[in-house]
Every structure is written in structure tokens, then in C-alpha cells.
Structure 1
Amino acid sequence: MSDDTSGLRYVDHEPGMWFLVAQHGDDLLLDARYSYSAVIDDSALIRLDDAERRAYAEGGHDAMTRLAQRIHHSAPYREDSRFHARDLHRGEDGRAWRDAVGGAIAEHTWAAEQRRAPDDR
């Protein structure tokens, strides 16, 4: 895996809609699901810009839900979407990014499972 995709950790999520991961501190990336009819069901991985990070700092979870909705409605699979060029899944390291985000989510899920009381399992 390249250094660009290393050091991801889970921050938050909205089931079925998005995952927020952090990289090396306060660098935030949103993995937002989008779909189009029965033809497309995928996600776009967007590195938050300064305005989006401020929105998250002020609005938290709800701000990310609104951003994920904007990403979905922009049709990020189309080149004219403002999120298309920002989608890290589309780049040369797309597979590595998918694996890194999946790893951060799996690690969080495993850790959460270990914290559960034995009676809850």
C-alpha cells in the first residue's frame, strides 16, 4: 500500500450512506455511497476541503450527512460532477484507497465487538 493511503482510522458513519475516516490526524475523508437506478451502486471517497472540515467541526454528523447527499445528487460518476475529479477511488491508487478504508472500518468493527460484554455477543 502506498504512503498516501496509510494511517486511516474510523471516525463516524451513517448506516448505508457514508463513512468518515481520518488520516494522520485531522485530514478527513468521506466515503459516500451513491446510486443510480439499478445500474450504479458505488461510493466516492472525497478528501474534505477547508470549508467541509469547518462544516464538520460545526455541524458534526449532520454536516456529513448533508455532504453525502450533495455528493449523491451530483452524480459523481459523471465527469461534470464537481465531486468526480475529487473521488480518490477513481485515481491510480483507487484499489488501495478502497482497501485502506475497508481496513479502517473492519478494525473499528472488530474493536467495538471486543468491547461488548460477553452476554451481548
Structure 2
Amino acid sequence: MTGSPENTQTTTTVPELVGLPAAEAHDRALDAALLAVPRNATHTGAGRGPVADQDPAAGEMLERGGTVRIWIEGGAARSATDPGDGPDGSGGGGGGGVGPKPAPVGPAGGGVAG
């Protein structure tokens, strides 16, 4: 029988994203079957800077398809009340207020046309 066996793993290792340009961080997360979501990129310029922080940290295990929250250098600072600290990565565990839903970020760090 030829070909590769089907991937039946349900978890994946979080890659190191800190220091990478945002676009490359998105690609690395996708390669690990994860989605990198910027928490502070409030405008296109901030979405192009390097990643300053990430949660969860590199090396931790997440469910495939899970979310890695990233903070982009030059965007708003990470706050202690960021709502992205829910146990499942959904953002449901913090004390932050309700804010506007962030726009999706394309592979080059710009907004996705829609």
C-alpha cells in the first residue's frame, strides 16, 4: 500500500511565533493545524509588525483547529483583562468588556476582502 497514513492525532504542538512577522506567524500556525488570531492589531499597519507575545506558549499542546492568540508589536498593549484567557482558548474567561469583532487577517497581514 502506498501513500501516507491518515493523520488521526487530535492535538498539535504550538509553534514559536514570537519574533516572526505576523504573516509568517499565521503561516506557521496553519502548518501546525492552528489559527493565529491577532488580539491587538487595530489597523493594517499593526497587523504587519512582528509578533511580540503569544498565548498559549510555544511547546504547549492544543486541539487541532485551535486558536493561538498573538499580540503584534506596534498594536495596542496586552492587558491583564484581555478576554482571551478562557480555558478552551475561546476568549470566554476574562473580564474584558464587549468590543467590536476583529476583522479577519489575510496571509499577508492585510484585511480579507469580503
TM-score (norm 1): 0.26
Point out the structure with the larger strand share: 1
Select the structure with the greater relative contact order (CA < 8 A; seq sep ≥ 6).
Answer: 2
TM-score (norm 2): 0.27
